[in-house]
Structure 1
Amino acid sequence: MQLRLIKYFTLVVIIFICSCGNKQGNGNETVYKGIYSFGPDAKSFKDCDNGREYWVTDESAKLELQYSQMNIEKPYVPVYVELQGVKIKSGKEGMGSEYDSTLVVKKLIKITKEIPQDMCN
């Protein structure tokens, strides 16, 4: 009986630890509002709050898709976006290495050609 109780308690503790680990990953995600530009050689985001620029990696698979569906004829035309993501340090080589940080997009909230002048200059 006591051995069974110890096994049950151990299982509960393991489940608790695993569920906490998953919440920490989502807890780092933040909503960002800013200007997104997309083209053959660059995917960048300029944060409206602080003016910093980031390389963009689109894990949501929605940002690049919806940008391309906006019928923008030229590359690098800026659009306003609101997205949920995580900032990470950029790699030292390859695409995005000229940026200090990379914004990993987890969820696209909003995308529009209309850039709000009161928020993003």
Structure 2
Amino acid sequence: MCTRKKLVCVVLLAMGLLWACSGNKGSEQEKGKSLTLKGLYSYGPEVKSFTDCDEGREYWVADSAKNLELEYTNLGFEKPYTPVYIEVECHLVKSDTTTVTGGYDSTMVVTKVLKMSKEIPEGPCNQ
């Protein structure tokens, strides 16, 4: 009888551990998942930020596409940090809390620029 209880406890413990580990993997995969985001991008010497128009979340921007900053500069602004509307493919990673990126929800790693415009469309971005 005592052996049977121990066996049931071990099986339940093993199932609990497997469930906890598999749930953790799912959330990690979700963070690295490719997304298409639309919002306002600001660029300057010290800050590269993006604000998601739908959720209002603010992200630090890393430009792995290597053309986001170039396209922004080519728009010819006289002052830095002028917001522009962008649509990008990206994935989100946890921001490093020991650097300037730590004050942001996450870091948005841009993989492809789909659209960039000085014209901010009507809707949640234009409020």
- The alignment's TM-score, normalised by the length of structure 1, stands at 0.75
Larger radius of gyration: 2
2:25 corresponds to? none
- 1:57-111: per-residue Cα shift (whole Å, max 9, x none)? 0000111010000001101000000000001110012231211301000000000
Which residue, 45, 48, 71 being the options, matches 2:53?
A: 48
- What is the alpha-carbon distance in structure 1 between the residues aligned to residue 115 and residue 124 of structure 2? 15
Aligned 8 A contact 2:57 2:105 in 1: no
Give the paired residue count: 97
Aligned 8 A contact 1:42 1:96 in 2: no
- What is the alpha-carbon distance in structure 2 between the residues aligned to residue 76 and residue 35 of structure 1? 11
In proportion to residue count, which structure has more helix? 2
1:16 corresponds to? none
Sequence identity percentage:
50
Runs (4+) of structure 1 exceeding 6 A deviation are none
- 2:85 aligned with 1:80, yes or no? yes
- What is the alpha-carbon distance in structure 2 between the residues aligned to residue 50 and residue 100 of structure 1? 12
2:72 corresponds to? 67
Aligned 8 A contact 2:89 2:111 in 1: yes
2:106 corresponds to? 101
Gaps in structure 2 of 5+ consecutive residues: 1-28
1:36 counterpart SS class: strand
